[in-house]
Chains A and B, each alone.
Chain A
Amino acid sequence: MTRKIISYAFLVFVLIFVYAPILLLVIYSFTPSTIIGKWDGFSLSLYGELFTNARVRTMIINTVVLALLAAGLSTILGTIGAIGIFYSRGKLGKVVKGASNINVINAEIVIGVSLALLFSFLTFNRTYFSLLLGHLALITPFVVLSVTPKLKQMDPSLYEAALDLGATPTKALFKVIIPEIMSGIVSGFMLAITLSLDDYIITSFTKPIGFDTISTYAYNAVKNQAKSDLPALRALSAIIFLIAVIVVIIMNIRASRKEKTK
């Protein structure tokens, strides 16, 4: 009995430890105070600021557009790469696979610095394009990593069956292989979005001057506390947290439904 109580107590403690800061953040997103800990009365003004403050608004749009663009491109690149690696035989395939995996393990700071070096070496000004390239370099290997297991699970005769039934290799790819590995592609895309959304290091090394994403903005805001729009970040964080919770709930519901139909 006591063991049970202890184990429950421990669980509650861990949950509080993990979620208390977020909870605090959410509560204080409903008050316009500049410092956490001081309650200036309930208000939705911080949420309003997200839409009225032009700087905050562009930063949010910047982040989301960049994430969608980078994730979309890296999903295409990563899927093609994974299929290419999977079907290439011999040494070349192994080398490419290894090369693609290194970036996953590699410290982000190394990628960031080396990209910055490369761009300046090529006298390539920091532009939106360089930022996009930086994000692609970071997240594409993760897409490859999430698509490859699906290819391995696939029955290798499926491709041959498609050819056998008269499909051209291209048709077989789009009608059979891609649908078959779709779940891997989707999870690769989601992973790519999250990675791009909260990336700070690579973004700060490759972004053009004056361009900010949520993470670089928040970092700078914390550094120079004087910025007046800092509190608005609380509202933004609360919204992002809410979206994450909703996504997790939807995924759980879908998973349990699938289980039932089987």
Chain B
Amino acid sequence: MKEQMTENIIEIKDLVRQFDETIAVDHINLKVKRGEFVTFLGPSGCGKTTTLRMIAGFDRPTSGEILLNGVNISDLPPNRRPINTVFQRYALFPHLNVFENIAFGLKQKRVRVVLEDSKGNRKEKTQKLSKQEIAEKVAHALKIVDLEGFEKRSITTLSGGQQQRVAIARAIVNEPQILLLDEPLGALDLKMRKDMQIELKEMHKTLGITFIYVTHDQEEALTMSDTVVVMKDGTVQQIGTPTDIYNEPVNAFVADFIGESNIFSGTITDHKKVRFIGKVFDCVDDFEKNEKVDVVVRPEDVVLTAPGEGIVDGEIISSVFKGVHYEMILKVGRNEVVIQNTVEKKVGEKCGVMISPDNIHIMKKEFSVNRYDGYITKKNTVIFGDGEFECDVTQLYAGSHLDEEGYLITADGEQLDLTDVDVEVEVGLHDIDVSDEPEIGGATGNIVSIIYKGDHYQIIVRTEENEEDYVVDTEYTWNENDTVSISIPKEAIKMKLKTEEKR
């Protein structure tokens, strides 16, 4: 392959991977710079591993392109890509010893050499690496991973950490352009994991190879990477340096996933002023007045003062020692603020709270209202979001009312049959009731996400049939994967006739 020197070693364009009905990777765009340490971070099922597998060549994209040095490699088989992988459970060959495992890739390799015979004729030839070359390379790789002298050992006699090192050696010995690592430290214990994180980072520096790393561990991602790609539901949420991602999360999901955070619902009251937990704070982000926003404050950024000296007062309701710091919860009105500090305040103590304007991060509210496409039934109920709900159909036509037979009489006295009329439905986040009794509601689904927002939880209930989402603000605690039913009061369902219908 002719190499075209571009700054980006990998470029992913509009990548989609669909398995039967589910979309694992949903239109991803991404650029990876040469020599970068990039981490795909996200909860399980977010599409990070699928993306990695497509870069490795184990999976074919449904659509979209993967460019390596500017050349599309989407259809190139894995054995012809200059990319090597460290697998999640190592995938070492048990029937081969350490040396043979590491030499496996080298034995497949063919190099072009120019031979010169006695008459001075030059001849180009492809040949295998010599035994000595292989032995030298293997020894060097073992030295890098700190396993000198392990050549003859059988794989089954190695500890998890040693197997991990052999797996890394087996990949880097081929001098790939890109090293892919699929949650490689997942099976190690905490101490070993921390050590390996540092060692991997060192290796990245010395080898100069581009690393693409997949993990669900946000701390690991922040510690090791140059760039973090936060993913959720097959889409990229945010791409940035660890500092950017931590300090400037683009939405509540990223803020909640990366590190501990307090997320509150707030309102912009004035230029660079935001109101949350019942008080107005100065902030640095500029938003439109009266806009509803999510406010993120990191627990370590909350400063405790003597009562009355802060912006707002509260009472400590819990304090847990976490090794380096105390994690305390301060009750402010109906809100709870999580605080991390090395100085402990006792439960019951009254404190003031100060938050410096730089540490208040404001994000556009992700969901302010649920919107659905629906249609009216014969019984004048409405079907949307995989459910059937009672509704007030007279709101579709101003001044209308229903006659005894269920026909709608408009203000002009016209009689209309609304059956199968398409409508746009809006339901507020507070207007949805969630219950664990399945018969009660108009629709049922599973809770797929829970984000705590200071005084309430924002949960997302997803139906099974068409994967419709209901975003609900609730004061009650639920667990992820709970199956719940959704009910909505008749008057809370706002409907509009679909504009297309009028045309």
Q: Which residues of A contact B (CB under 8 A)?
A: 155, 157-158, 160-169, 171, 175-176, 179-180, 182, 262
Contacts and interface: CB of A to CB of B under 8 A. Distances in A.
A171 B110 CA distance: 14
Given A157-B91, A164-B58, A168-B79, 17 more contacts: A158-B91, A160-B56, A160-B78, A161-B87, A161-B93, A163-B57, A163-B77, A163-B78, A164-B56, A165-B174, A166-B174, A167-B108, A175-B104, A179-B93, A180-B94, A180-B95, A182-B95
Given A157-B87, A157-B88, A161-B87, A166 B105 contact: yes
A162 B101 CA distance: 10
Contacts of B494: none
A163 B57 CA distance: 9
A166 B104 CA distance: 9
B273 interface: no
- 7 closest A-B pairs by beta carbon, nearest first, are A165-B105, A166-B108, A157-B91, A161-B91, A163-B78, A179-B95, A157-B87
22 contacts: A160-B78, A160-B87, A160-B91, A161-B85, A161-B91, A161-B92, A162-B93, A163-B57, A163-B58, A164-B58, A164-B79, A164-B83, A164-B84, A164-B85, A165-B104, A166-B79, A167-B79, A168-B79, A169-B79, A179-B95, A180-B94, A180-B95
A109 B321 CA distance: 76
Nearest to A182: B95
B84 A165 contact: yes
A168 B85 CA distance: 16
Interface residues of B, number: 26
A176 B56 contact: no
Interface string B47-87: 00000000011100000000000000000011110011101
Interface of A is mostly: helix
A262 B155 CA distance: 12
Contacts of B95: 179-180, 182
A3 to B, nearest CB: 43
Interface in B161-190: 170-171, 174
A169 B105 CA distance: 14
B143 interface: no
A18 B311 CA distance: 92
Contacts of B87: 157, 160-161
Given A160-B78, A180-B94, A180-B95, A165 B108 contact: yes
B109 A166 contact: yes
A32 B272 CA distance: 114
Q: Which of B58, B79, B84, B92 has most chain A Cβ within 10 Å?
A: B79
Contacts, number: 64
Contacts of B56: 160, 164
A179 B78 CA distance: 21
A164 B89 CA distance: 15
Nearest to B157: A262
Contact of B89 (A157, A162, A166, A262): A157
Nearest to A165: B105
Contact of A155 (B80, B89, B156): B89
A155 B91 contact: yes
Contact of B170 (A165, A169, A175, A179): A165
Contacts of A176: 93
Given A179-B95, A180-B94, A180-B95, A163 B79 contact: yes
A171 B108 contact: yes
A180 B93 CA distance: 8
Nearest to A164: B85
Q: Which of B56, B80, B108, B156 has most chain A Cβ within 10 Å?
A: B108
Nearest to B182: A157
A113 B109 CA distance: 54
Given A163-B77, A166-B105, A158 B174 contact: no
Contacts of A163: 57-58, 77-79
A157 B87 CA distance: 8
A165 B108 CA distance: 8
Q: Which of A157, A161, A162 has most chain B Cβ within 10 Å?
A: A161
Contacts of B83: 164
Nearest to B167: A161
A171 B80 CA distance: 13
A164 B84 CA distance: 6
A171 B109 CA distance: 13
A179 B95 CA distance: 7
Interface string B106-133: 0011000000000000000000000000
A256 to B, nearest CB: 18
B97 to A, nearest CB: 13
A162 B56 CA distance: 12
Given A165-B174, A167-B79, A179-B95, A160 B58 contact: yes
